Amino acid sequence: MKNITVIGSGTMGNGIAHVFAQFGYSVNLVDISDAALQKALATIAKNIDRQVAKGTVTEADKTATLSNIKTFTKLEEGAKNADLVVEAASENVNVKLAIFKQLDEICPPHTILASNTSSISITQIAAVTKRADKVIGMHFMNPVPVMKLIEVIRGYSTSDEVCQLIMETSKKLNKIPTEVNDYPGFVANKILMPMINEAIITLYEGVAGVEEIDTVMKLGMAHPMGPLQLADFIGLDVCLNILRVLHDGFGNPKYAPCPLLVNMVTAGHLGVKSGKGFYDYSSGTKDLILADRFKKQNKSIVA
């Protein structure tokens, strides 16, 4: 396992490329958007600068890590020599199925095809390829360079050998892999997303404002950040897509996304990545809290 292709260079893709490159793998980072690739390289450099400032890596490590990453806008060029592909494109089933179908044709027979999907069925993704035994979930956590866990998702047809190889590769990245089975949301998001959705419903019903909800969960439950801030950080579009997968997959109304979440995504308020979500990030930090606006809006809903 030497050549890694990472598909999608957004919030997760840049972190995944960063970590593989840091541990000496040769990384091809692929995105349909050249602007996204340039932004990813800038983000990786900035994040390594932070590690240098903390003393966990050196300037020489920074140069080595950056030199291990090449960028591509064409999937064929970026994936043809891959030993392992980690797909981190948008959380949309049709996008992922199209990518895996192409990968199956482009990549050599030995290539393992992994998805960083938060919730989409690995078994469904594997079914569009002719190598279902070599398709697996490799679910990194955000921010990838910092978070220890990789949720390794075994699809219905994933082989023991492939599962073992991905567990070992995860350990080489200094991560802690945990194997789970392939059902909607796996473990992480089957538990996390209903909590985030409930926090948004709590806001929508006017029970409390943004700051109050996050404070209760931070100080009362010892969570490092409140669920609304976490939703902004994950991306509200990503949260909505995951809730829809849970809702469709289990057919249970308890997973129905809150209408406020649907409205915010429709309005383009996606959280940190768009500059606005439950908080305002346009000044570069999380300040200017929108709690008042939500309170006003929610008074009318409650009335």
- Which residues touch 48 (CB under 8 Å, ≥6 apart)? 18, 22, 57, 61, 62, 65, 66
Of residues 91, 104, 182, 214, which one binds ligand NAI by CB under 6 A?
Answer: 91
If binding is defined by CB under 6 A, does position 90 make contact with ligand NAI?
Answer: yes
Contacts to ligand NAI from residues 255-294, by CB under 6 A: 273
Any idea what the Cα angle at residue 243 is, between residues 20 and 35, rounded to 5°? 45
Q: Give per-residue burial for 253-287: e unless 16+ CB within 10 Å, then b.
A: eebebbebbbebbeeebbbbbbebbbbbbeeeebe
Cβ-Cβ contacts under 8 Å for 136 (sequence gap 6 or more): 112, 113, 114, 115, 122, 152, 153, 154, 155, 158, 162, 163, 166
* 177 is an interface residue for ligand NAI by CB under 6 A: no
Helix/strand/coil for 284: coil
Can you tell me which of 66, 95, 127, 216 binds ligand NAI, judged by CB under 6 A? 95
With respect to ligand NAI, which residue has the nearer C-beta, 116 or 229? 116
Q: Is 13 exposed, middle or buried (0-12, 13-18, 19+ CB in 10 A)?
A: buried
Q: Is 151 in the site for ligand NAI (CB under 6 A)?
A: no
Q: Is 89 in the site for ligand NAI (CB under 6 A)?
A: yes
Of 116, 129, 170, 298, which one interacts with ligand NAI (CB under 6 A)?
116
Considering the rule CB under 6 A, would residue 129 count as an interface residue with ligand NAI? no
Residue closer to ligand NAI by CB (options 114, 163) is: 114
Q: Is 47 in the site for ligand NAI (CB under 6 A)?
A: no
Q: Which region, left, alpha or beta, applies to residue 185 given φ > 0 means left and ψ of -120 to 50 means alpha?
A: left
The total number of residues written for the chain in this structure: 303
Establish if 225 lies at the interface with ligand NAI (CB under 6 A): no
Residue 99 beta carbon to ligand NAI: minimum distance, rounded to whole angstroms? 5
Q: Is residue 142 within the footprint of ligand NAI (CB under 6 A)?
A: yes
Structure tokens at 271: 């959280």
Q: How far is the CB of 81 from ligand NAI (least distance, A)?
A: 17
The least distance separating ligand NAI from the CB of residue 11, rounded to whole angstroms, comes to: 4
Annotation says 139 is catalytic: yes
Q: What residues act catalytically? A: 118, 139, 151, 189
Which residues of this chain interact with ligand NAI, rule CB under 6 A? 7-13, 30-33, 36, 88-91, 95, 99, 116-118, 139, 142, 234-235, 238, 273
